[in-house]
Amino acid sequence: MASNILPFNTLAQVYAHTQDDSALHRYTMDMVLEGSLFYCKLITPARLINTANEVKKTSVCLFFDASHVQGLGVCDNDEEVIPSCVKSAFVKQASSTSAADLMSIRFVLKGHAPLVAPDSMLQKRPSMFKDIEALLRMGRSDTFKVYLPSSAVSRKHLLGLSDALARGMKPAPENVINSIYRKPFKSKIVTRLDELWGLNEPENPPPYDLSTVPGASNDEPSSQSDFRDTSSSGKRGKRRMASPVSRQTPSKRQFLTEKADPEPWELAFAAQGAQIAALCAELHTLREEMQRFRRASMVDAETQTDPPAEAEAKPGSSLDYASPSQASTVENTIEDRLLMVEDSILEEQKQRALLDEKLDHTDKQIRQELESECFGLQSAVENLESRVDDLESCLQDDLRQDFKEDIDAKASDLQVKLEEFIERRLEDVEEVVKHDVRMAFENASCKFKIDLGWSE
C-alpha cells in the first residue's frame, strides 16, 4: 500500500529554486513511496480552455521517479542556513513562524524529469508562465532544492527513501502518469512551453470590406475607375494601408455602426467621399464637353472645302461658333481644368491615406494600452485568488484549532461535573448505609444461653 511521505496536495507551502535561478517559486508537493516504487510531483495551478471555450482550473506538474533521481539529501536548520527570502516567504504565508520549523530537500537528477500537463490548451497568464517555465528548467537541471515545513514531512521516511535510492529502485509505471488527470482529459508530456498554449494565438483578422466603412459612398469605386495615375498607383502599390476596420471584431464593428452620434473621422470620410464623387462627376462632364468640341472642330475643318454659297445658305448652323482657334482654346481650358481636378483628387487621396495612417496608429496605441491594463488586471485577479486561497487555508486551521480548544474545555468541565456528582452520590450512599446500620443495631435482639454446669 502506498505511503505518502508528504500529504497529497499538502497545504504546507513548498518553495523551490535551481542554482541558475535566484527567484523562489511556490508549489504544492506530493511524494509517494510504496515498497521499491517511488515518485514525486511538484504542482503549480493553471487554467484550461476546453472545447466550449470555457476556462477551468487545472494544474501542471513536474514528475520524477527513481529513473530521474540519483539521490536526495535532507537538511534542517542545524546543518544549513535557510535563506532569509525563504523564511520571509513562509512567514507571509503563515506556514511557519521561525526558521527552526523549516527544512530542505536537495534533489540530484540523473535524467531529465518530464513536465506533465492535460491534453488540452492552457490559458497563458504571466504569473503562471513564470512558475511553469521554472518547472521545465528544474526538470532539465542537475540539482535543485525544495524548502518546506518540517512538520509537514516524515523525516524517517525521507531518510529511508534516500537509502533506497542509493541501493536502486524501479521507475514508476506509465499508468501513474496517465492517471494524474481525470477524464475526459489525458496526460501529455511537454518538452516546449509553446505546446501548452500554441492554439491560443489570435486568428487572422477578417478581410477588409470597404462597405463597412462609415460614410463610404456607393459611387466611389466607379468614380475611381474613371481616373488612375499610373505613377502614383505604382508607388502606393508597394505598401497597402491596413484599415482599422479590418481588425475590428464583429461585435465592435456592430457597436460602431449603431452609434447615434458619428465620430469626427466618420464625418471627415463622408465629406471626402462626397467631394471626390463631385469632382469625378465634374471630370466626366468636362470630358464629354471636350469630346463634343473635338467633333465640332473636325466637322468645321471638312466644311472649309465646300462652296461659299452652301455655307451662306446655313447662317444659323450650330457649327459657326466652332472655329479651329476657338476649339483649341476650349480644349486647352478643359485640359487645364482636368489637371486641376486630377491634382485635387490626388490631394484628397493623400489626405485620406494620412488619416488612415493616423487612425491606425491611434488604434494601435489604444490596443496596447488596453492589453497592458488587461495584463495588470489579470495579475491583480491572480494575486487576489492566491490571497483568498491562503486566507481560506489559514481560516480552516484557525477554526480547527478553536474547535479543538472548545472540545477540550467542554470535556474538562464535563469531567469535573461528573466527579462532583459521583462524590455527592457516594456521600449520600454512605449516609444511607450508616443509617441502616444504626437502625439494625437498635432493633437487634440477643439471646444468651448459659450453661452453669451444675451437677446434681
pLDDT at residue 3, rounded to an integer: 57
Amino acid occupying residue 16:
A
260 falls within a domain: yes
CA separation for the pair 215, 330 (Å, rounded): 36
Within this chain, do residues 123 and 238 fall inside the same structural domain, yes or no?
no
State whether residue 449 is helix, strand or coil: coil
pLDDT range class, residue 13, cuts 50, 70, 90: low
Within this chain, do residues 154 and 251 fall inside the same structural domain, yes or no?
no
Of 12 and 328, the structure prediction assigns the larger pLDDT to 328
Q: What is the mean pLDDT of residues 25-54?
A: 84
In tens, the pLDDT along 300-338 reads 555 554 544 444 444 444 444 445 555 566 666 777 777
In tens, the pLDDT along 197-215 reads 764 444 444 444 444 444 4
pLDDT at residue 56, rounded to an integer: 85
Within this chain, do residues 69 and 49 fall inside the same structural domain, yes or no?
yes
Q: Are strands 102-109 and 187-190 parallel, antiparallel or unpaired?
A: unpaired
pLDDT at residue 300, rounded to an integer: 59
- Cite the beta strand spans of 97-217 per DSSP E: 102-109, 115-118, 143-149, 187-190
Within this chain, do residues 129 and 92 fall inside the same structural domain, yes or no?
yes
Within this chain, do residues 156 and 223 fall inside the same structural domain, yes or no?
no
- Residue 205's alpha-carbon distances to 51, 83, 85, 198, in angstroms, are 22, 50, 46, 18
389 falls within a domain: no
Average pLDDT across the chain, whole number: 74
443 falls within a domain: no
Of 289 and 434, the structure prediction assigns the larger pLDDT to 434
Helix locations, 199-261, DSSP H: 220-226, 230-236, 250-257
Amino acid occupying residue 112:
H
Q: Which three cell numbers stand for residue 126?
A: 504571466
CA separation for the pair 386, 407 (Å, rounded): 32
Of 291 and 205, the structure prediction assigns the larger pLDDT to 291
417 C-beta neighbours (distance < 10 Å), count: 10
pLDDT(382) > 80: yes
Structural domain total, the chain: 2
Cβ-contact 65, 40 below 8 angstroms: yes
Q: What is the b/e burial string over 196-229, where b = at least 16 CB atoms within 10 angstroms of the residue's CB?
A: bbeeeeeeeeeeeeeeebbbbbeebeebeeebee
In tens, the pLDDT along 237-288 reads 444 444 444 555 555 555 555 545 666 777 777 777 788 888 888 888 887 8
What share of the chain in percent tops pLDDT 90?
Answer: 4
Strand partners, 76: 103
pLDDT at residue 279, rounded to an integer: 83
Q: Range of 307's domain? A: 210-370
Q: Which range has the worst mean pLDDT, 54-58, 153-157, 184-188, 407-411?
A: 153-157
Within this chain, do residues 194 and 318 fall inside the same structural domain, yes or no?
no
Of 359 and 333, the structure prediction assigns the larger pLDDT to 359
Q: What is the mean pLDDT of residues 9-21?
A: 55
Burial class (CB in 10 A: 0-12, 13-18, 19+), 136: buried
Within this chain, do residues 20 and 162 fall inside the same structural domain, yes or no?
yes
Within this chain, do residues 128 and 38 fall inside the same structural domain, yes or no?
yes
453 falls within a domain: no
